[in-house]
C-alpha cells in the first residue's frame, strides 16, 4: 500500500510544473498554506527498515513433560501439537552519522518481549566498536543468533542448559576491537546483567570472547572462537564460571549456491558451590549441506546434562534436518530427533516448521 | 649534542625511506566489474580489491567476516547499489569500523547514483513479483554508456580523495572513454545486422546491454526475479521461442544450466554460457574484454 502511495507521489513529481531559473516553481496563484513544502515522500524515506518474521510448527513427542524438563520447547506427549513459536518484529536504522539502532521485539506464547534493542557505534577510532542496550552476550556462536537465523528448528540442549534457554543476554554493553592483524580477529569485552540457563535471576556478568576467521582457500573458511563468562554468584546454585569454544568450517565453491558447513561447540559451566572438577560439560557437533538454492539437509549430535529429575548423566540427542526454501523469505523444515536419556529412557521428537519474512531483506547469516 | 643530532637525522631518513612519497589510494569494490573500472581510472595510483569474484552471483556472496578486514582500511568503497549487495554488504561495513565508508560516508560511492536506472516498478510492489529490486535493475555495468558514467563518478571521487593526482585520474578517464568509444564502434558493427532480434536470458542481467545494442529479451528463464524456473514456465518459453524466432539462450556461468538445457531440448535453441562479470572467464579479464565476450555471445545467440 505504501508502495502504491510512493509511486503515485513519484508520478505527481514527474508531472510537476516547470521550474524557474533558480529552481523555484513559478508562482501560479494561491499559496499552498500549511504545506511543509519539499518532496512529499521525504518523511517516508526516514522510516526504519521494518521486517516481521513468523515461526510456526507442528510438534510431536513420545517424551513426558518430566523428560523434557529444562527445554525451551516442551510438547504434550503423544499429540501432534500446533505451535506459533514466535513472531519477531525488527526495526533497524541509522540514528545519526555516528550510531545505528536495532530493535527486535518478540511475540510468543510466553508474552511480548524485547529480544534485543541496542545501538552500535559506527565511527570509533582504532578498530573499536560499542554495542549497548539489551544485547545477546558475545558468548559462543549459536547462542547469539535470532530464531530465524537458526539452521535447525531448535537450539542444541547443551546450549540451552549450560548457557541460556534463549541464549545468554541482557542489558549491558559490549566493547569490541577489530585487531589490526591481517586476518579477522575480534576481541569482545562485555558487562551485562544476564539470566543464564533456565534461571530467571539476573546476575552481573563479565564476558570475554575472541573470534577469528581464516580463509583456508577460495572456497574454505575456518572460524575459531573462545568465550568466557564470569558471573557474580550470590547463592550456591548460581552460575559462577562459563567457558566455551567453537569451531566452524564452511566449504563453498564461490560459483555455486551449494555449501557444506561443519560446526561444533563445547561448554563448561561451574556453579557457585562447585569445584572446577565438578563443572558440567556439554556440546554439540553438526554438519549442514546446502544442496542448491532450494534444498538443505543436516545432522546434529548434542550432548547435554540430563534433566535434574531423571537419573544423573547426560542426554544425547541425534537430530536430522531437511529444509526447503521457496525463496529467501520462506522455508519449510522437517526435523526428527532421537533422544537418549540416562537409564535407557529413549524417545522421539518430530517437528515440522514453517518460517516466513515480510518486509526488509535481512543479511544472509554466515 | 652532535651525536644526538646525527641520530635524529638518521631516524628521520629511515622514516622517510620507509614511507613512500605518496601512498596509493586503497579502493575496495563489491564486484570485479567495478574493480576493473576503478583500475582503468586509477592506474598505478590506486590499489584495487574486489570483495566478490566474477564467477560469483553478486546477490549471494557470503558475508564472510574476512571481507570486513579488506574494508577496514579502505580509502574508498564503491558498491553497485539498488540493493544488489543487501544480503551481505551491510554487516561487513558495520564490522569494518571504517566510519568513512558507512552509508552516506564521505568515502562511499554507490555506482547506481551515477546512472539512470531501468526496470523501475510502475505499479504496486511486493514479493509476489519475486525478489525484485524496487529501486531499479542493478545490472547496469555491461552497458558502455553507463560504464563510462560510473567511471566518471569514480574519477571525481578519486580526485576528491587524492587531489594531487586529480589530473592523472581525469586523463585516464578520457583515455577510458576513448577506449570504450572505439570498442563500441566494433561492437555496434557486429550487432547491427541483427537489430530487433530477441534472446532469452536467465535473469534480467542484460537489460541495459540489450537496450544499448538494439536487441530485445523475449523472456527470462526465471518466471520472476530470483524464482527457480518450474518446468511449466520452461514449456511456455518454448512457445515464445517459436513465435518470436528466438535462436539462443544466454546463461551466466554461476547459474544452474539445467533449465536452459531443457529449453534447448524442447525448442532447439542454442545455450550460450556467459561470464557474469569481469573475471567470470579467462577471456573476460578486464571491462572491455568482458563486454567483448558478451557481444560475441549475443551475436552467436541471435544467428
Q: Which residue of B has its CA nearest to A217?
A: B66
Q: Is the pLDDT of residue A321 over 70?
A: yes
Cβ-Cβ contacts under 8 Å, B94 against chain A: 100, 120, 122, 129
Structure confidence at residue A29 (pLDDT) = 52
Distance (Å) from the C-alpha of residue B42 to the closest C-alpha of chain A? 24
Structure confidence at residue A35 (pLDDT) = 67
Q: Return the top range by mean pLDDT from A191-200, A205-214, B128-137.
A: A205-214
| Pairing label, strands B76-79, B108-110 | parallel
Record: contact A124-B97, CB cut-off 8 A: yes
Domain A50-359, second-level architecture = Beta Barrel (2.40)
Q: What pLDDT, in 10s, does the model give residues B35-48?
A: 999 999 999 999 99
Cβ-Cβ contacts under 8 Å, B136 against chain A: none
Distance (Å) from the C-alpha of residue B140 to the closest C-alpha of chain A? 21
Task: Answer whether B27's CB lies under 8 Å from B78's CB.
Answer: yes
Record: contact B124-A329, CB cut-off 8 A: no
For the whole model, what pTM was predicted? 0.87
Structure confidence at residue A14 (pLDDT) = 44
Give CA angle at A246 (A245, A249), nearest 5°: 150
Which ranges constitute the DSSP H helices of B43-137? 66-72, 89-96
Q: What pLDDT, in 10s, does the model give residues B48-59?
A: 999 999 999 999
Distance (Å) from the C-alpha of residue B174 to the closest C-alpha of chain A? 31
Give bridge partners of residue A113 from the DSSP assignment: A106
What DSSP string runs through B209-242?
HHHHHT-EEEEESSSSTTPPPPHHHHHHHHHHHH
Task: Answer whether B66's CB lies under 8 Å from A213's CB.
Answer: yes
Record: contact B130-A327, CB cut-off 8 A: yes
- In this prediction the ipTM stands at 0.85
Cβ-Cβ contacts under 8 Å, B26 against chain A: none
Q: Is A47 on the interface with B (CB under 8 A)?
A: no
Distance (Å) from the C-alpha of residue B66 to the closest C-alpha of chain A? 5
Give bridge partners of residue A289 from the DSSP assignment: A260, A297
Cβ-Cβ contacts under 8 Å, B64 against chain A: 213, 215, 221, 366
> From the CB of residue A64, how many other CB atoms can be counted at a distance below 10 Å?
14
Cβ-Cβ contacts under 8 Å, B66 against chain A: 183-184, 213-215, 221
Q: What domains does chain B contain, in order, with CATH numbers? A: 25-114+129-183 (3.40.50.1980), 184-301 (3.40.50.1980)
- Average pLDDT of the residues in A122-128: 92
Distance (Å) from the C-alpha of residue A177 to the closest C-alpha of chain B? 9
Record: contact A94-B104, CB cut-off 8 A: yes
Record: contact B72-A123, CB cut-off 8 A: no
d(CA A232, CA A323) in angstroms, rounded, equals: 41
- Domain ranges in chain A are 50-359
Q: Is the pLDDT of residue A30 over 60?
A: no
Cell 568465550 belongs to A227
d(CA B34, CA B48) in angstroms, rounded, equals: 10
Q: What pLDDT, in 10s, does the model give residues A235-284?
A: 888 999 999 999 999 999 999 999 999 999 999 999 998 998 999 999 99
- Dihedral sign (CA B24, B26, B31, B32): positive
Q: What pLDDT, in 10s, does the model give residues B172-227?
A: 999 999 999 999 999 999 999 999 999 999 999 999 999 999 999 999 999 998 88
Judged on CB neighbours under 10 Å (0-12, 13-18, 19+), B303 is exposed
End-to-end Cα separation, chain A, in angstroms: 33
Cβ-Cβ contacts under 8 Å, A218 against chain B: 53
Task: Answer whether B257's CB lies under 8 Å from B271's CB.
Answer: yes
**B88 vs A182, A250, A363: nearest CB:** A363
3-state secondary structure B145-192: HHHHHHHHHHHHHHHHHCHHHHHHHHHHHHHHHHHHHHHHHHHHHHHH
Rg (CA), chain B: 22
**B123 vs A7, A250, A366: nearest CB:** A7
Amino acid at each position: 500500500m505504501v508502495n502504491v502511495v510512493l509511486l503515485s507521489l513519484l508520478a505527481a513529481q514527474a508531472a510537476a510544473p516547470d521550474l524557474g531559473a533558480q529552481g523555484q516553481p513559478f508562482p501560479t496563484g494561491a499559496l499552498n498554506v500549511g504545506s511543509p513544502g519539499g518532496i512529499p515522500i521525504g518523511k517516508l524515506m526516514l522510516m526504519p527498515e521494518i521486517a516481521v518474521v513468523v515461526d510456526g510448527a507442528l510438534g510431536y513427542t513420545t517424551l513426558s513433560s518430566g523428560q523434557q524438563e529444562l527445554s525451551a520447547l516442551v510438547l504434550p506427549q503423544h499429540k501432534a501439537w500446533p505451535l506459533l513459536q514466535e513472531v519477531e518484529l525488527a526495526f533497524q536504522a541509522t540514528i545519526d552519522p555516528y550510531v545505528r539502532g536495532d530493535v527486535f521485539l518478540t511475540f510468543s506464547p510466553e508474552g511480548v518481549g524485547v529480544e534485543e534493542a541496542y545501538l552500535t557505534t559506527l565511527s570509533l577510532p582504532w578498530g573499536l566498536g560499542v554495542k549497548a542496550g539489551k544485547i545477546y552476550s558475545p558468548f559462543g556462536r549459536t547462542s547469539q543468533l535470532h530464531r530465524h537465523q537458526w539452521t535447525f528448528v531448535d537450539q542444541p540442549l547443551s546450549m540451552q542448559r549450560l548457557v541460556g534457554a534463549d541464549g545468554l543476554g541482557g542489558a549491558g554493553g559490549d566493547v569490541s576491537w577489530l585487531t589490526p592483524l591481517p586476518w579477522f580477529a575480534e576481541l569482545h569485552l562485555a558487562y551485562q546483567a544476564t539470566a543464564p540457563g533456565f534461571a530467571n535471576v539476573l546476575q552481573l556478568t563479565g564476558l570475554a570472547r575472541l573470534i577469528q576467521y581464516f580463509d583456508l582457500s577460495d572456497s574454505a573458511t575456518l572460524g575459531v572462537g573462545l568465550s568466557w563468562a564470569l558471573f557474580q554468584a550470590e547463592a550456591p546454585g548460581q552460575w559462577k564460571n562459563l567457558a566455551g569454544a567453537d569451531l566452524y568450517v564452511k566449504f563453498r565453491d564461490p560459483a555455486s549456491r551449494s555449501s557444506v558447513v561443519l560446526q561444533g561447540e563445547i561448554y563448561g559451566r561451574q556453579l557457585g558451590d562447585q569445584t572446577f572438577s565438578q563443572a558440567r560439560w556439554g556440546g554439540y557437533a553438526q554438519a549442514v549441506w546446502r544442496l542448491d538454492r532450494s534444498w538443505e539437509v543436516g545432522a546434529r549430535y548434542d550432548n547435554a546434562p540430563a534433566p535434574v529429575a531423571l537419573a544423573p548423566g547426560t542426554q544425547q540427542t541425534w537430530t536430522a534436518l531437511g529444509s526447503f526454501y521457496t525463496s529467501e523469505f520462506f522455508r519449510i523444515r522437517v526435523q526428527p530427533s532421537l533422544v537418549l536419556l540416562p537409564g535407557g529412557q529413549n524417545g522421539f521428537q518430530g517437528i515440522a516448521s514453517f518460517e516466513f519474512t515480510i518486509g526488509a531483506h535481512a543479511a544472509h547469516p554466515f | 649534542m652532535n651525536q644526538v643530532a646525527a641520530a635524529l637525522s638518521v631516524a628521520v631518513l629511515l622514516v622517510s625511506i620507509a614511507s613512500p612519497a605518496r601512498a596509493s589510494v586503497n579502493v575496495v569494490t563489491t564486484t570485479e566489474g567495478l574493480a576493473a573500472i576503478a583500475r582503468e581510472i586509477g592506474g598505478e595510483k590506486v590499489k584495487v580489491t574486489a570483495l566478490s569474484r566474477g564467477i560469483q552471483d553478486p546477490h549471494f556472496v557470503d558475508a564472510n567476516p574476512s571481507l570486513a578486514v579488506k574494508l577496514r582500511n579502505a580509502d574508498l568503497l564503491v558498491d553497485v547499489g539498488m540493493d544488489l549487495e543487501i544480503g551481505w554488504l551491510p554487516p561487513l561495513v558495520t564490522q569494518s569500523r571504517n566510519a568513512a565508508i558507512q552509508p552516506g560516508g564521505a568515502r562511499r560511492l554507490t555506482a547506481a547514483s551515477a546512472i539512470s536506472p531501468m526496470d523501475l516498478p510502475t505499479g504496486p510492489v511486493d514479493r509476489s513479483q519475486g525478489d525484485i529490486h524496487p529501486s531499479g535493475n542493478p545490472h547496469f555495468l555491461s552497458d558502455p554508456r553507463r560504464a563510462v558514467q560510473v567511471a566518471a563518478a569514480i574519477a571525481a571521487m578519486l580526485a576528491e580523495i587524492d587531489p594531487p593526482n586529480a589530473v592523472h585520474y581525469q586523463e585516464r578517464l578520457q583515455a577510458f572513454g576513448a577506449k570504450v568509444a572505439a570498442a563500441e564502434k566494433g561492437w555496434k558493427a557486429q550487432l547491427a545486422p541483427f537489430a530487433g532480434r530477441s534472446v532469452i536470458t536467465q535473469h534480467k542481467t542484460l537489460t541495459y546491454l540489450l537496450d544499448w545494442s538494439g536487441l530485445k529479451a523475449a523472456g527470462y528463464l526465471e518466471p520472476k526475479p530470483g524464482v527457480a524456473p518450474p518446468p511449466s514456465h520452461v514449456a511456455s518459453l518454448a512457445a515464445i521461442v517459436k513465435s518470436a524466432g528466438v535462436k539462443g539462450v544466454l546463461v551466466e556461468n554461476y547459474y544452474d544450466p539445467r533449465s536452459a538445457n531443457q529449453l534447448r531440448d524442447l525448442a532447439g535453441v542454442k545455450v550460450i554460457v556467459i561470464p557474469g562479470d569481469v573475471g567470470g572467464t579467462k577471456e573476460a579479464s578486464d571491462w572491455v574484454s568482458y563486454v567483448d565476450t558478451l557481444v560475441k555471445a549475443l551475436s552467436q545467440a541471435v544467428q
